[in-house]
A and B are shown apart, each in its own frame.
Chain A
Amino acid sequence: MEYNPFSLEGKTILVTGASSGIGRGIAVECSKMGAKLVIHGRDLGRLEKTLSMLAGDGHKAIQADLSKQEEIDRLVEQSPTINGIVHSAGIPKICAVKYIDRTLLEEIVNVNELAPILLTTGLLKKRKLQKKSSVVFVASMSGVFIGNIGEASYAATKGAIAGFIKSAALELAAQGTRVNTICPGLVPTSILSLSNEVFTEEQLKDTMYGRYPLKRVGTPEDIANASIYLLSDGSSWVTGINLLIDGGYCLT
Protein backbone atom coordinates (compact mmCIF):
# COMPACT_ATOMS: atom_id res chain seq x y z
CA MET A 1 0.00 0.00 0.00
CA GLU A 2 1.20 3.44 -0.91
CA TYR A 3 2.24 5.75 1.94
CA ASN A 4 -0.48 8.32 2.55
CA PRO A 5 -0.97 9.90 5.99
CA PHE A 6 -4.07 11.72 4.71
CA SER A 7 -6.00 8.65 3.57
CA LEU A 8 -9.63 8.41 4.69
CA GLU A 9 -9.84 4.64 4.04
CA GLY A 10 -12.00 2.94 6.67
CA LYS A 11 -13.59 6.19 7.83
CA THR A 12 -17.26 7.12 7.58
CA ILE A 13 -17.73 10.87 7.17
CA LEU A 14 -20.95 12.89 7.44
CA VAL A 15 -21.02 16.07 5.33
CA THR A 16 -23.90 18.53 5.78
CA GLY A 17 -24.86 20.95 3.03
CA ALA A 18 -23.49 18.50 0.47
CA SER A 19 -26.09 19.24 -2.19
CA SER A 20 -24.04 22.11 -3.63
CA GLY A 21 -20.99 24.33 -3.40
CA ILE A 22 -18.27 23.72 -0.84
CA GLY A 23 -20.17 20.84 0.81
CA ARG A 24 -20.47 18.96 -2.50
CA GLY A 25 -16.77 19.52 -3.19
CA ILE A 26 -15.86 18.18 0.25
CA ALA A 27 -18.01 15.08 -0.19
CA VAL A 28 -16.57 14.29 -3.63
CA GLU A 29 -12.92 14.77 -2.60
CA CYS A 30 -13.37 12.78 0.63
CA SER A 31 -14.81 9.89 -1.39
CA LYS A 32 -11.73 9.96 -3.64
CA MET A 33 -9.60 9.61 -0.49
CA GLY A 34 -11.43 6.39 0.37
CA ALA A 35 -14.07 7.59 2.84
CA LYS A 36 -17.59 6.23 3.05
CA LEU A 37 -19.85 9.26 2.88
CA VAL A 38 -23.12 10.12 4.55
CA ILE A 39 -24.24 13.23 2.71
CA HIS A 40 -26.90 15.60 3.91
CA GLY A 41 -28.77 18.33 2.03
CA ARG A 42 -32.11 20.12 1.94
CA ASP A 43 -32.85 19.46 -1.75
CA LEU A 44 -33.18 15.76 -2.50
CA GLY A 45 -32.66 16.15 -6.25
CA ARG A 46 -29.38 18.01 -5.91
CA LEU A 47 -28.31 15.69 -3.10
CA GLU A 48 -28.77 12.68 -5.38
CA LYS A 49 -26.66 14.47 -8.00
CA THR A 50 -23.86 14.70 -5.40
CA LEU A 51 -24.37 11.02 -4.55
CA SER A 52 -23.84 10.13 -8.22
CA MET A 53 -20.57 12.10 -8.25
CA LEU A 54 -18.98 10.19 -5.35
CA ALA A 55 -16.12 7.74 -5.97
CA GLY A 56 -16.57 4.19 -4.68
CA ASP A 57 -19.78 2.79 -3.25
CA GLY A 58 -21.65 2.26 0.02
CA HIS A 59 -22.48 5.95 0.42
CA LYS A 60 -25.75 7.21 1.87
CA ALA A 61 -27.81 10.38 1.36
CA ILE A 62 -30.14 11.85 3.99
CA GLN A 63 -32.43 14.80 3.26
CA ALA A 64 -33.20 17.10 6.19
CA ASP A 65 -34.03 20.74 6.95
CA LEU A 66 -31.59 21.59 9.73
CA SER A 67 -33.48 24.73 10.71
CA LYS A 68 -35.91 22.40 12.53
CA GLN A 69 -34.89 20.52 15.68
CA GLU A 70 -36.97 17.43 14.79
CA GLU A 71 -35.13 17.19 11.47
CA ILE A 72 -31.75 17.44 13.24
CA ASP A 73 -32.92 14.62 15.53
CA ARG A 74 -33.99 12.55 12.52
CA LEU A 75 -30.63 13.06 10.80
CA VAL A 76 -28.89 11.85 13.98
CA GLU A 77 -31.23 8.87 14.12
CA GLN A 78 -30.68 7.88 10.47
CA SER A 79 -26.94 8.43 10.52
CA PRO A 80 -24.69 5.43 11.01
CA THR A 81 -21.80 5.62 13.49
CA ILE A 82 -19.23 7.99 12.01
CA ASN A 83 -15.55 8.88 12.35
CA GLY A 84 -15.90 12.48 11.29
CA ILE A 85 -18.30 15.21 10.32
CA VAL A 86 -17.97 18.35 8.22
CA HIS A 87 -20.61 20.97 8.97
CA SER A 88 -20.87 22.76 5.64
CA ALA A 89 -24.56 23.76 5.55
CA GLY A 90 -24.94 27.51 5.80
CA ILE A 91 -26.63 30.59 4.41
CA PRO A 92 -25.33 34.08 3.61
CA LYS A 93 -26.90 37.39 4.55
CA ILE A 94 -25.82 40.78 3.35
CA CYS A 95 -27.30 43.61 5.40
CA ALA A 96 -26.10 46.93 6.79
CA VAL A 97 -25.78 46.89 10.58
CA LYS A 98 -28.50 49.44 11.25
CA TYR A 99 -31.02 47.38 9.25
CA ILE A 100 -30.40 44.05 10.98
CA ASP A 101 -33.65 42.96 12.62
CA ARG A 102 -34.71 40.06 14.82
CA THR A 103 -36.21 38.04 11.94
CA LEU A 104 -33.04 38.20 9.86
CA LEU A 105 -30.82 37.45 12.83
CA GLU A 106 -32.90 34.51 14.03
CA GLU A 107 -32.88 32.95 10.55
CA ILE A 108 -29.13 33.11 10.07
CA VAL A 109 -28.25 32.18 13.66
CA ASN A 110 -30.59 29.21 13.42
CA VAL A 111 -28.97 27.75 10.30
CA ASN A 112 -25.32 28.79 10.68
CA GLU A 113 -24.87 28.50 14.42
CA LEU A 114 -27.59 26.57 16.25
CA ALA A 115 -27.93 23.74 13.69
CA PRO A 116 -24.26 22.66 13.53
CA ILE A 117 -23.84 22.89 17.32
CA LEU A 118 -27.07 20.97 18.03
CA LEU A 119 -26.26 18.35 15.40
CA THR A 120 -22.91 17.81 17.11
CA THR A 121 -24.51 17.44 20.54
CA GLY A 122 -27.14 15.10 19.08
CA LEU A 123 -24.46 12.85 17.58
CA LEU A 124 -22.56 12.81 20.89
CA LYS A 125 -25.65 11.95 22.96
CA LYS A 126 -26.64 9.10 20.65
CA ARG A 127 -23.02 7.88 20.59
CA LYS A 128 -22.84 8.20 16.81
CA LEU A 129 -19.35 9.76 16.95
CA GLN A 130 -16.68 7.11 17.45
CA LYS A 131 -13.68 7.78 19.68
CA LYS A 132 -10.91 9.68 17.91
CA SER A 133 -13.39 11.34 15.58
CA SER A 134 -12.78 14.64 13.82
CA VAL A 135 -15.42 17.38 13.92
CA VAL A 136 -14.94 20.12 11.33
CA PHE A 137 -17.01 23.27 10.97
CA VAL A 138 -16.86 25.40 7.83
CA ALA A 139 -16.68 28.90 9.32
CA SER A 140 -15.34 31.88 7.36
CA MET A 141 -12.48 34.33 7.37
CA SER A 142 -15.28 36.87 7.88
CA GLY A 143 -16.00 37.18 11.58
CA VAL A 144 -12.96 35.17 12.64
CA PHE A 145 -10.03 36.97 10.97
CA ILE A 146 -11.48 40.01 9.20
CA GLY A 147 -14.66 41.98 8.63
CA ASN A 148 -16.47 42.95 5.43
CA ILE A 149 -19.09 45.63 4.97
CA GLY A 150 -22.61 44.17 5.07
CA GLU A 151 -21.54 40.86 6.61
CA ALA A 152 -22.00 41.60 10.32
CA SER A 153 -24.87 39.16 10.92
CA TYR A 154 -23.11 36.39 8.94
CA ALA A 155 -19.80 37.15 10.70
CA ALA A 156 -21.52 36.94 14.09
CA THR A 157 -22.55 33.34 13.39
CA LYS A 158 -19.12 32.33 12.09
CA GLY A 159 -17.34 34.00 15.00
CA ALA A 160 -19.64 32.13 17.36
CA ILE A 161 -18.60 28.80 15.85
CA ALA A 162 -14.92 29.79 16.07
CA GLY A 163 -15.48 30.35 19.78
CA PHE A 164 -17.54 27.20 20.28
CA ILE A 165 -14.76 24.90 19.07
CA LYS A 166 -12.33 26.16 21.72
CA SER A 167 -14.38 24.73 24.58
CA ALA A 168 -15.66 21.75 22.62
CA ALA A 169 -12.10 20.76 21.65
CA LEU A 170 -11.11 20.70 25.33
CA GLU A 171 -14.11 18.61 26.37
CA LEU A 172 -13.95 16.11 23.53
CA ALA A 173 -10.18 15.64 23.87
CA ALA A 174 -11.09 13.19 26.66
CA GLN A 175 -12.29 10.76 23.98
CA GLY A 176 -9.57 11.65 21.50
CA THR A 177 -12.01 13.58 19.30
CA ARG A 178 -10.70 16.74 17.66
CA VAL A 179 -12.76 19.85 16.89
CA ASN A 180 -11.62 22.49 14.39
CA THR A 181 -12.92 24.99 11.86
CA ILE A 182 -11.89 25.84 8.33
CA CYS A 183 -12.13 29.57 7.57
CA PRO A 184 -12.36 30.03 3.80
CA GLY A 185 -11.84 33.21 1.88
CA LEU A 186 -14.10 33.88 -1.08
CA VAL A 187 -15.18 30.70 -2.88
CA PRO A 188 -17.59 31.53 -5.71
CA THR A 189 -20.51 29.07 -5.40
CA SER A 190 -24.27 29.37 -5.55
CA ILE A 191 -24.23 30.75 -1.99
CA LEU A 192 -22.50 33.73 -3.55
CA SER A 193 -25.07 34.18 -6.27
CA LEU A 194 -27.64 34.42 -3.48
CA SER A 195 -25.74 37.37 -2.09
CA ASN A 196 -25.37 38.60 -5.68
CA GLU A 197 -28.94 39.77 -5.33
CA VAL A 198 -27.29 42.63 -3.49
CA PHE A 199 -23.81 42.83 -4.98
CA THR A 200 -23.20 42.69 -8.70
CA GLU A 201 -20.50 40.51 -10.19
CA GLU A 202 -18.63 43.72 -11.04
CA GLN A 203 -18.69 44.96 -7.47
CA LEU A 204 -17.42 41.61 -6.28
CA LYS A 205 -14.58 41.67 -8.76
CA ASP A 206 -13.60 45.23 -7.89
CA THR A 207 -13.80 44.94 -4.15
CA MET A 208 -12.79 41.37 -3.56
CA TYR A 209 -11.16 39.36 -6.33
CA GLY A 210 -8.31 41.83 -6.76
CA ARG A 211 -7.24 41.56 -3.13
CA TYR A 212 -5.99 37.96 -3.22
CA PRO A 213 -2.16 37.83 -3.19
CA LEU A 214 -2.25 34.38 -4.82
CA LYS A 215 -4.20 36.01 -7.65
CA ARG A 216 -7.32 33.90 -7.59
CA VAL A 217 -10.37 33.21 -5.47
CA GLY A 218 -10.90 29.82 -3.82
CA THR A 219 -12.44 26.65 -5.21
CA PRO A 220 -14.50 24.03 -3.37
CA GLU A 221 -11.49 21.71 -3.82
CA ASP A 222 -9.23 24.12 -1.87
CA ILE A 223 -11.59 23.84 1.07
CA ALA A 224 -12.10 20.09 0.54
CA ASN A 225 -8.33 19.54 0.78
CA ALA A 226 -8.27 21.35 4.13
CA SER A 227 -11.11 19.17 5.36
CA ILE A 228 -9.28 16.02 4.21
CA TYR A 229 -6.32 17.14 6.32
CA LEU A 230 -8.46 17.77 9.40
CA LEU A 231 -10.43 14.51 8.98
CA SER A 232 -7.37 12.33 8.44
CA ASP A 233 -4.97 10.85 10.98
CA GLY A 234 -2.40 13.22 9.50
CA SER A 235 -3.81 15.92 11.78
CA SER A 236 -4.17 13.75 14.89
CA TRP A 237 -2.32 16.35 17.03
CA VAL A 238 -4.44 19.26 15.77
CA THR A 239 -7.45 20.44 17.76
CA GLY A 240 -9.17 23.74 18.59
CA ILE A 241 -7.78 25.63 15.59
CA ASN A 242 -9.41 27.97 13.09
CA LEU A 243 -7.63 27.01 9.88
CA LEU A 244 -7.47 29.97 7.51
CA ILE A 245 -7.59 29.03 3.80
CA ASP A 246 -7.66 32.37 2.02
CA GLY A 247 -5.05 32.73 -0.73
CA GLY A 248 -3.29 35.29 1.44
CA TYR A 249 -6.26 37.67 1.62
CA CYS A 250 -5.83 38.45 5.33
CA LEU A 251 -2.18 39.42 4.80
CA THR A 252 -3.11 42.59 2.99
Chain B
Amino acid sequence: MTIDEFVKRFSEEFDETPVEKFAVGTLFKGLDEWGSLTALSIIAMVDEEFEKRITGADIRNSETIEDLYNLVMSK
Protein backbone atom coordinates (compact mmCIF):
# COMPACT_ATOMS: atom_id res chain seq x y z
CA MET B 1 0.00 0.00 0.00
CA THR B 2 1.40 3.41 -0.96
CA ILE B 3 1.40 6.33 1.43
CA ASP B 4 -1.36 8.03 -0.59
CA GLU B 5 -3.53 4.93 -0.42
CA PHE B 6 -2.84 4.78 3.32
CA VAL B 7 -3.95 8.40 3.78
CA LYS B 8 -7.20 7.63 1.93
CA ARG B 9 -7.78 4.45 3.95
CA PHE B 10 -7.00 6.43 7.14
CA SER B 11 -9.59 9.08 6.19
CA GLU B 12 -12.27 6.42 5.74
CA GLU B 13 -12.22 5.73 9.47
CA PHE B 14 -13.62 9.22 10.07
CA ASP B 15 -17.34 9.83 9.59
CA GLU B 16 -17.50 13.62 9.98
CA THR B 17 -14.12 14.94 8.82
CA PRO B 18 -14.06 15.62 5.04
CA VAL B 19 -11.48 13.69 3.03
CA GLU B 20 -9.72 16.93 1.92
CA LYS B 21 -8.58 17.41 5.51
CA PHE B 22 -6.29 14.41 5.24
CA ALA B 23 -2.77 14.59 3.81
CA VAL B 24 0.58 12.90 4.38
CA GLY B 25 1.58 15.58 6.89
CA THR B 26 -1.77 15.92 8.71
CA LEU B 27 -1.39 16.13 12.50
CA PHE B 28 -4.27 13.71 13.02
CA LYS B 29 -4.50 14.08 16.80
CA GLY B 30 -5.49 17.70 16.21
CA LEU B 31 -8.63 16.73 14.28
CA ASP B 32 -11.91 17.43 16.11
CA GLU B 33 -13.06 13.89 15.45
CA TRP B 34 -9.90 12.28 16.87
CA GLY B 35 -10.60 10.26 20.04
CA SER B 36 -10.61 6.78 21.51
CA LEU B 37 -13.10 5.48 18.94
CA THR B 38 -11.13 6.70 15.92
CA ALA B 39 -7.91 5.42 17.54
CA LEU B 40 -9.47 1.97 17.95
CA SER B 41 -10.69 2.08 14.35
CA ILE B 42 -7.21 2.94 13.05
CA ILE B 43 -5.70 0.05 15.05
CA ALA B 44 -8.32 -2.33 13.61
CA MET B 45 -7.86 -0.95 10.10
CA VAL B 46 -4.10 -1.58 10.25
CA ASP B 47 -4.76 -5.09 11.54
CA GLU B 48 -7.18 -5.78 8.68
CA GLU B 49 -5.17 -4.19 5.84
CA PHE B 50 -1.62 -5.13 6.89
CA GLU B 51 -2.19 -7.99 9.37
CA LYS B 52 0.03 -6.07 11.78
CA ARG B 53 -0.72 -5.08 15.35
CA ILE B 54 -0.06 -1.50 16.38
CA THR B 55 -0.62 -0.33 19.94
CA GLY B 56 -1.91 2.74 21.72
CA ALA B 57 1.74 3.60 22.39
CA ASP B 58 2.52 3.44 18.66
CA ILE B 59 -0.24 5.94 18.00
CA ARG B 60 0.96 8.13 20.85
CA ASN B 61 4.44 8.17 19.27
CA SER B 62 3.10 9.24 15.86
CA GLU B 63 2.27 12.83 15.02
CA THR B 64 1.50 12.78 11.30
CA ILE B 65 -0.22 10.17 9.16
CA GLU B 66 3.15 9.62 7.51
CA ASP B 67 4.73 8.82 10.91
CA LEU B 68 2.13 6.14 11.45
CA TYR B 69 2.56 4.78 7.91
CA ASN B 70 6.33 4.49 8.40
CA LEU B 71 5.82 2.80 11.74
CA VAL B 72 3.42 0.26 10.21
CA MET B 73 5.78 -0.44 7.30
CA SER B 74 8.70 -0.96 9.72
CA LYS B 75 6.85 -3.71 11.62
Contacts and interface: CB of A to CB of B under 8 A. Distances in A.
A198 B41 contact: no
A102 interface: no
B37 A198 contact: no
Interface stretch (B2-10, B18-26, B51-59, B65-73): B51-59
Contacts of A203: 36, 56
Contacts of B60: 200, 202
Nearest to B53: A197
A28 B56 CA distance: 33
Nearest to A204: B56
A149 interface: yes
A207 B36 contact: yes
Nearest to B37: A149
B40 interface: yes
Contacts of A98: 41, 44
A200 B54 CA distance: 12
B36 A149 contact: yes
A94, A96, A150, A199: residue with the most chain B Cβ atoms closer than 10 Å: A96
Given A149-B37, A150-B37, A203-B36, A96 B56 contact: no
A94 B37 CA distance: 11
Interface in B27-70: 36-37, 40-41, 43-45, 47-48, 53, 55-57, 60
Given A200-B60, A202-B60, A96 B37 contact: yes
Give the dominant DSSP class at B's interface.
Answer: helix
A207 B55 CA distance: 17
A198 B48 contact: no
Contacts of A99: 41, 44-45, 47-48
Contact of B56 (A95, A149, A200): A200
Contacts of A95: 40, 44
A203 B53 CA distance: 18
A94 B57 contact: no
A4 B47 CA distance: 53
Contacts of B53: 197
Nearest to B56: A200
A164 to B, nearest CB: 28
B36 to A, nearest CB: 5
Given A149-B36, A149-B37, A207-B36, A96 B57 contact: no
A190 interface: no
A204 to B, nearest CB: 9
B44 A199 contact: no
A196 interface: yes
B42 to A, nearest CB: 9
Interface string A180-213: 0000000000000000111110110001000000
Contacts of B44: 95-96, 98-99
Given A99-B48, A202-B60, A197 B55 contact: yes
Interface of A: 94-96, 98-99, 149-150, 196-200, 202-203, 207
